[in-house]
Amino acid sequence: METRTYRAGGCVVTEREHSMPLDHASPDDRSITVFTREIADRDGLDRPLLVFFEGGPGMEAHRPTVSPVSPAWLKRALKDYRVLLLDQRGTGRSTPVGALDGLTPPDQAEYLSHFRADSIVRDAESIREELGVERWSILGQSFGGFCVTAYLSHAAGSLREAFTTGGLPPVGAHTDEVYRHTYPRVVERNRRFYERYPDDRKRVEAIHRKLDAGELVLPGGDVLTPRRFRQLGLWLGMASGRERLHYTLELPPESWAFLHDVESALPFARNPIFAILHESCYADGCITDWSAERMQPEEFADVTLFTGEHIYSWMFEDYGALQPLREAAELLAKWEWPRLYDAEQLARNDVPVASIVYVEDMYVERALSERTAAAVHGLRVWLTNEYEHDGLGVDGERILERLFTLAKESS
């Protein structure tokens, strides 16, 4: 383990690189590096550890500022904890996942199969043991909540308490059920968007005419296709998503500003795990077979409707950066994924758990989250329509304060 410690503002920051097996079931085979950044108030070096699991999949942990401390949830957390920011395997400063040059598609697929929540939890457990921590607390945002639920399933004895924000997964559900619920949410968000900005529908129609003619080329060289353009609807589940989409659409479509904003808006080229493993992060013992593509409802024949957090097979053609993983993606779509969660263990859970569930969450369906909440013994839920999916980033201090209180009440 390589370690570097320094002081910044009123905090002590410790950066570590941990060596991990790619496959925890075969620890003597290929290894990777997992990076963590521990942040502590200078007066709180003896406080317990809170591990943060970022959303995604395939996104690194927040890059915080410490003078002043930001984001706001981190400021609140540091009052009670030292916070361990985990760059989940394949992200940030951990060993990166790219095109996996030199590997055959079957080898690429086998390599990438080790980057789901179950492997991330095993990484965290190895780090906990390496640091000599008996038990710690965990916090998961969005996909990070899937990691928290997997942790409660497989290593609950290592936990003091657990928190999730917009991230209770659909335990035991097929991925088809996930998209059967989320597509109507996206249709509703489109309706609200055009209700607020009715003139944008004509703008979108005009942009599609240019896209159909192949007239718009992104700065990186990819032709902007109509189906790729529609993925800007990914924004619509965030607090400022409608405004962000509107302000992009008001730019001249042939302008560098518009083309740059569209290219940088979608994270799939920068974070390939998000594209290649998104459906599998829901796969609790099933084959996904491009669920979102198969489950897309007829309403989306209307090209002015934007899509949401849905992954499609054509992305590995339209995104140049993803093309080297096209065959691996097809193999993973047919992969027989093992179970992520242990329903029996969750039913007898004795770890204090508190979760915020957003009533109209566009990404993690409320009904499925509530079903999981009811199946986890002792879990306390804060169900609210005050926030969108990014509530932790919008009002993190208040949200953590409430979750911390709920966990104490359940212990």
| Domain residue ranges of the chain, discontinuous segments joined by + | 2-100+114-171+341-410, 175-333
The residue to which tokens 């980057």 are assigned:
115
Cα–Cα nearest to 358, from 393, 382, 380: 382
| Percent of residues, the chain, with pLDDT higher than 90 | 93
The residue to which tokens 């703008």 are assigned:
203
Confidence check: pLDDT of 34 > 90: yes
What's the confidence (pLDDT) of residue 67?
81
pTM for the predicted model, two decimal places: 0.96
What's the confidence (pLDDT) of residue 366?
96
Four-way CATH pick for 2-100+114-171+341-410: 3.50.50.60, 3.40.50.150, 1.10.645.10, 3.40.50.1820: 3.40.50.1820
Average pLDDT over residues 54-58: 95
Q: Are 277 and 112 in contact (CB under 8 A)?
A: yes
The 3-state DSSP class for residue 19 equals strand
Reported confidence tier of residue 60, pLDDT bands at 50, 70, 90: very high
Reported confidence tier of residue 355, pLDDT bands at 50, 70, 90: very high
Catalytic residue numbers, as ranges: 142, 361, 389
Tens of pLDDT, residues 231-249: 999 999 999 999 999 999 9
* Contacts for 298 with CB less than 8 Å, ≥ 6 apart: none
Q: Are 356 and 164 in contact (CB under 8 A)?
A: yes
CA 56, distance to chain mean position in Å, is: 2
Q: Are 380 and 409 in contact (CB under 8 A)?
A: yes
Confidence check: pLDDT of 411 > 80: no
CB under 8 A, 24+ apart: contacts of 399-406: 399/73, 399/165, 399/356, 400/73, 400/76, 400/77, 400/139, 400/163, 401/76, 402/354, 402/356, 403/163, 403/165, 403/354, 403/355, 403/356, 404/80, 404/163, 404/354, 406/354, 406/380, 406/382
Confidence check: pLDDT of 410 > 80: no
